[in-house]
Amino acid sequence: MAISTLPERPRAVLVGVQLPGVSDEEHAADFAELRRLVHTLGYDTVATVSQKRTRLATGTVLGTGKLKELAALTGGPGVISSGASDRTSKAREKWEAAANAEPAPEDGAAEAEADDVEPEDALPPPPSGEDDEAAPRPTVVVVDHELSPGQLRNLEKATGAVVLDRAGVIVDIFHRHAKSHEARMQVEIARLNYLAPRLRESTGGRERQQGRGAGDSALELDRRRIRDRLAELRAGLAAIQKDQDHRRYARRDLLRVALVGYTNAGKSSLMRALTGSTVLVADQLFATLDTTVRAMQPETRPRILVSDTVGFIQKLPHDLVASFRSTLDEALEASLLLYVVDASDPTWAAQLEVTRTVLREIGADAVPSRLLFNKADRLDAAAKEALLAQHPDALMLSAHLPDDVAMLRKRIIAFFESSMVEADLVIPYSQQGRISEVYEHTTVVSQAYDESGSRLRVRGLPGAIAKLTQLFQG
């Protein structure tokens, strides 16, 4: 009987350039994060190629030496071969030299460019042996930088592998994980914006532009289709966002808490613990993309709504930030932001700054906030004390410990109660059918009756009480 086996996952090589101002720890953290992104996308990382440079090489990101080292892993030629005929002009030769980004220094520029040159004798010898022959070569190269269409094409020629940049990986992950109609539309907008300038670099792109007649080329037709599709998506998304705005407007008088933070910091776990909802919890990047809004359980009076927003990440493509602007508006319109941080991650400070930077861009930095160090069960006592010494007002907790979740719930309630006031409301008997609105937006301390109607002593936010007073006096 034949035994079926699962297909082997594609093998990938990670490529990164450590630029000036990036520490070794930050560079290692970038690689670790890229490895997780690649794993989420379905690839296994089998090797990494890194280089310190003052800038990215214009045509190939890496210098010639490191490019050959990368090509040795993938089985590529290690140089940029032109698909055109052998006839080349001096201008063409000069362009190819510039594309390799290793021009011979002139006029005393040797010292300035010394950091960019990777000497051949500094490279480790290529791997050899039976294991190397047995293992299949990597078929994917993932670069930890955003690449231009020309750089993508040049690296594919030099390595003979499929080349992805960080932005492309993130967009593809979003594309796979989008579930709701709104999220799928948001991701498709970002994906088309990413693909549009790269159309001419696709396989067969050059041939498709040859033999133009009086009409448009196939490339121009593709670009027109993308423009039309983008217009259609934006119109559809605007309609959905209008509906979302109406829903947010209906919730304007409710107490709202938004969980914000880096991807995989544990926001969804906290959401489940606080609300009893069944949102997806998975140990992977961008497991959830849709904003979920649920009432905190056990329910309070007035009700407190908790929303789980999309996670952030280093170098998040701008098109994705723009597309998910409506999702981020949940944070902008919240009464309280809870910054969820993975306390066990050594780069938590940089991750927190990424979150704050994105929220600052949409104006949400003015919303009151509290800092939560999640996954504290993975830390020892000394590490916890060190974190609390840096941030004495932060909360240290684990979303998996009921006592910690109960403590957080009390802190959330206390935050809202600190700004509540007490007032008396008189509800005429003719409007008794609307008394439920009072219970929804305030806490009723006492209730009595007289000839004018129900007299309620309530406790709530000043804005909610003012609106209720106006409602029953109108």
Numbered residues of the known binding site for Mg(2+): 268, 288
Q: What's the first-to-final CA gap in the chain, in angstroms?
A: 82
Indicate the burial class of 250 (C-beta count within 10 angstroms; 0-12, 13-18, 19 or more). Answer: exposed
Residue 443's SS3 state is strand
How distant, in Å, are the alpha carbons of 114, 435, 438, 452 from that of 427?
82, 8, 10, 8
Beta bridge partner(s), residue 262 = 312
Q: Where are the beta strands (DSSP E) in 156-208?
A: 162-165
Q: Which two tokens stand for residue 5?
A: 């086996």
DSSP string, 324-383: THHHHHHHHT-SEEEEEEETTSTTHHHHHHHHHHHHHHTTGGGS-EEEEEE-GGGS-HHH
Structure tokens that stand for 231 in this block: 């217009």
Question: How far is Cα 457 from Cα 82, in angstroms, rounded to an integer?
Answer: 82
Binding residues for GTP: 261-268, 286-290, 308-311, 374-377, 398-400
**E strand or H helix that includes residue 308:** strand 304-308
Question: What are the binding residues?
Answer: 261-268, 286-290, 308-311, 374-377, 398-400
Residues in CB range of 84: below 8 A, 6 or more apart? none
Q: Label the pairing between strands 453-460 and 443-450.
A: antiparallel
Answer whether 391's CB lies under 8 Å from 371's CB.
Answer: yes
Q: The tokens of 115 are what?
A: 């950091």
Is the bond into 302 cis (omega within 30 degrees of 0)? yes
Rg (alpha carbons) of the chain, rounded to whole number: 29
CA distance 62 to 19: 12
Bridge partners, 255 (sequence order):
304
What dihedral do alpha carbons 437, 441, 445, 450 form, nearest 10°? -30
CB atoms within 10 A of CB 425: 22
**Backbone dihedral angles phi then psi of residue 262, each to the nearest 5 degrees:** -65, 150
